[in-house]
Amino acid sequence: MNILVIRTHRFGDILQTSPMLRGLREKFPDGKISFLTGSDMTDLVSSNPDVDEVFSIPEKEYRWFLKNRPEQHPRVYNELYDLLSELRGRDFRLIVNRQYEFGAMAAWLVGGVGETRGGTFSPEEGFVFTDDASRELFETIRTDRRRNGRNLVDWGCRIAGVSPGCGDMVFRVPETARSDAGHLLAEGGAKGDDDSLVAVQMGAARSFRQWGAENYTPVIRWLIKDRNKRVVLLGSEDEEGLAETAVRCLGPEGNGVINLTGATDLNTLGGVLERCQYLITGDTGTMHMAAAVGTPILALFYGTAYPWETGPYGAGHFVLYADEPCSPCLVPEGCVCGHRCLKAITPRHVCAAFDIAESMREEGAQSPVWSDETVRLFVTRRQPGSDQVLIPVNDSPEIAEGMSPLPGRRVTNRPNDNGIESAVCAFSGQRDILVRQFCLGDRQSFVDAFSQLIDRLHATVRYLNGSRHGEGHEEILARELMPAIEETHTAFQSEDFVTVLDIVQYRLTSVMESLVRREGFHGTI
């Protein structure tokens, strides 16, 4: 049975489909699960063990061309036609669409005789929902979001027709990304066994979803000075200004901050979060990534964010929420309440919540006390087969017993780990992508694939330099790997793409094979 899941953008939302994918795998153990996602999300989906095949579409690029470059419309049309036509040929018996408009229309075009769940399109009726769970979710959100007590992850399971709570959020950090994360943290002064790291994500996609550097700064200062933590700032390139403002305001305490804003891709973000003891954040994609790698979260919810809907998924995460009558907000940019829900949460609340979270998790505090009535502190609880719930900490002394301990973290590169094998797999995967792009003939795609391949090779070099491996690796690095990388660069500069490919396919592949042979791994790459 062929199954297609559609979700093309927003990495947090894509990660939120992982429990549903687990449920589909359990329900259809012999089924083949395909996933249609955005080109920039391919890594995220392909690392999921419950996905057999990934189809990617440069949706953002297409939207830009459609709005700005009319001369590119025929190309976009033909590429969309080819992709959807190929998907249609797969004869999917079940399509689970987790995205409005684009996803619904794609589901309509791809769908044949099979069942579509989660929303599709009809020429007569427009966008329609074809299953009860989708209709119920849409009606609840449309009429009164406060009636919704169910996390979207659990909604996703119901929409797909699988039982809620059947799996955790999942993201498998590649070994090279784990190594890169280690290097980034080490450059910032964190040792491999540093267990004092607390990640802070200050930014958010929309300005009205940001708590502000002025609020985060005192929390960061308190973590460094009073709790002896090292703070790791995370965020996208767009949020670098926000991070710089916070570091500047911190003054001398700013030295205790490792600023990785704009420095991580999705894989490395997972690797950094895995090393952190906690993440403090608003409702962001980074929050879902932390949940997917098992890092405890203290989340701040306000504005449009509604914790019952999109709160961190998993047991033992904490959520601060000022439950104003007008929350969750429908018009954040035109708020007539003076953003009361956001301003209600103060640095003092965050610090107090952090202490409670830490004591419940690490010391097993049985009777946490949260005395504030304006801002409430909730903890997440999840049990297999049922929906996740949010419980006020005061009402749940038993929660501490049910909280899972901190997941095991790999803090150093051990000599017998599978780092080399993982690096070589990453190389061979990217090499195959490069060959494919060469064959498809699009120059820009080839250039992009080459750039990613070089990134992976450099990650391998960094990994080898930073790990304790058997003798001979230094020689291979110096005599074979580095000169070959250098020559691909020279050929690439001349746009001699054939020579680039010759070096990658023959010399670099041979070097990689000799590296894995030294590790005792025998196979062809």
Partner 1 sequence: MQNGSETEIPLPYEYPPAMRKIRDRNGIVTDLFEDRAPLGSLEPVGTDSGSLTVRRHMGGGVYRYIHSAVDPQREAGVWADCQSVHSDTAVILGCGLGYHALEFARRYRHIRQVYLVEADEQLFRLALDASGISAAIGDCNVHFLIGRDRVSVGRTLSDSLGSPFTYHLFLPATSLYPGFYASVIRNLDERLRAVRLAAGGGRSCGRDDPFAAGVEKLMDVMKSA
Cβ 110 vs Cβ 95: under 8 Å: yes
Q: Tell me how far, at minimum, the Cβ of 52 lies from partner 1, in Å.
A: 20
A 10 A CB-CB count for 365 gives 17
The binder of partner 1 chosen from 1, 49, 85, 392 (CB under 8 A): 85
Packing angle of the helix pair 213-225, 240-250 (nearest 10 deg): 50
The binder of partner 1 chosen from 495, 510, 517, 520 (CB under 8 A): 495
Q: What is the CA radius of gyration of the chain?
A: 24
**CB closer to partner 1 out of 61 and 195:** 61
**CB closer to partner 1 out of 81 and 404:** 81
The binder of partner 1 chosen from 251, 498, 510, 523 (CB under 8 A): 498
Task: Tell me which stretch binds partner 1 (CB under 8 A): 75-83, 358-366, 410-418, 456-464.
Answer: 75-83
**CB closer to partner 1 out of 196 and 452:** 452
**CB closer to partner 1 out of 74 and 470:** 74
The binder of partner 1 chosen from 1, 26, 69, 78 (CB under 8 A): 78
- Assess 74 for contact with partner 1 (CB under 8 A): yes
Task: Tell me which stretch binds partner 1 (CB under 8 A): 101-109, 284-292, 458-466, 467-475.
Answer: 101-109
Query: How does DSSP classify residue 503?
Result: I
Q: Are strands 197-201 and 126-128 parallel, antiparallel or unpaired?
A: unpaired
Q: What is the DSSP string of 71-102?
A: GGHHHHHHHHHHHHHHHHHT--SEEEE-SSTH
Cβ 246 vs Cβ 268: under 8 Å: no
Per-position b or e across 46-83, b if 16+ CB within 10 A of its CB: bbbebbeebbbbbbeebeebeeeeeeeeeebeeeeeeb
Q: Tell me how far, at minimum, the Cβ of 486 lies from partner 1, in Å.
A: 16
A 10 A CB-CB count for 514 gives 14
- Assess 123 for contact with partner 1 (CB under 8 A): yes
Give the number of residues in contact with partner 1, rule: CB under 8 A.
Answer: 48
- Assess 81 for contact with partner 1 (CB under 8 A): yes
Q: Tell me how far, at minimum, the Cβ of 440 lies from partner 1, in Å.
A: 6
CA 139 to chain centre: 28
Residues 425-454 that bind partner 1 (CB under 8 A): 435-436, 438-443, 446
- Assess 499 for contact with partner 1 (CB under 8 A): yes
- Assess 521 for contact with partner 1 (CB under 8 A): no
The binder of partner 1 chosen from 13, 59, 239, 519 (CB under 8 A): 59
- Assess 86 for contact with partner 1 (CB under 8 A): yes
H or E segment to which residue 500 belongs: helix 497-502
Q: Tell me how far, at minimum, the Cβ of 108 lies from partner 1, in Å.
A: 6
Task: Tell me which stretch binds partner 1 (CB under 8 A): 103-111, 154-162, 361-369, 420-428.
Answer: 103-111
Q: Tell me how far, at minimum, the Cβ of 124 lies from partner 1, in Å.
A: 8
Q: Tell me how far, at minimum, the Cβ of 150 lies from partner 1, in Å.
A: 27
**201: which strand partners?**
234, 281
The binder of partner 1 chosen from 1, 26, 66, 214 (CB under 8 A): 66
**C-beta contacts of 209-212 below 8 A and 24+ residues apart:** 209/282, 209/283, 209/284, 209/303, 209/304, 209/305, 209/332, 210/242, 210/282, 211/282, 211/300, 211/302, 211/342, 211/345
Structure tokens at 425: 């797999």
Q: Tell me how far, at minimum, the Cβ of 439 lies from partner 1, in Å.
A: 4
- Assess 476 for contact with partner 1 (CB under 8 A): no
- Assess 414 for contact with partner 1 (CB under 8 A): no
- Assess 189 for contact with partner 1 (CB under 8 A): no
Task: Tell me which stretch binds partner 1 (CB under 8 A): 42-50, 308-316, 494-502, 508-516.
Answer: 494-502
Task: Tell me which stretch binds partner 1 (CB under 8 A): 21-29, 306-314, 453-461, 499-507.
Answer: 499-507
- Assess 76 for contact with partner 1 (CB under 8 A): yes
**C-beta contacts of 310-313 below 8 A and 24+ residues apart:** 310/151, 310/152, 310/283, 311/151, 311/283, 311/378, 311/380, 311/388, 311/390, 312/287, 312/288, 312/380, 313/16, 313/19, 313/151, 313/153, 313/168, 313/169, 313/288, 313/380, 313/382, 313/388
Q: Could you give the CA distance from residue 194 to residue 239 in angstroms, rounded to a whole number?
A: 26
- Assess 39 for contact with partner 1 (CB under 8 A): no
Query: How does DSSP classify residue 344?
Result: H
Give the C-alpha distances (Å, rounded to integers) separating 57 from 37, 86, 99, 461.
Answer: 6, 13, 14, 31
**CB closer to partner 1 out of 427 and 438:** 438
Binding site for partner 1 (CB under 8 A): 59, 62-63, 66-67, 71, 73-78, 80-82, 84-86, 88, 101-102, 105-106, 108-109, 122-123, 435-436, 438-443, 446, 492-499, 501-502, 505-506
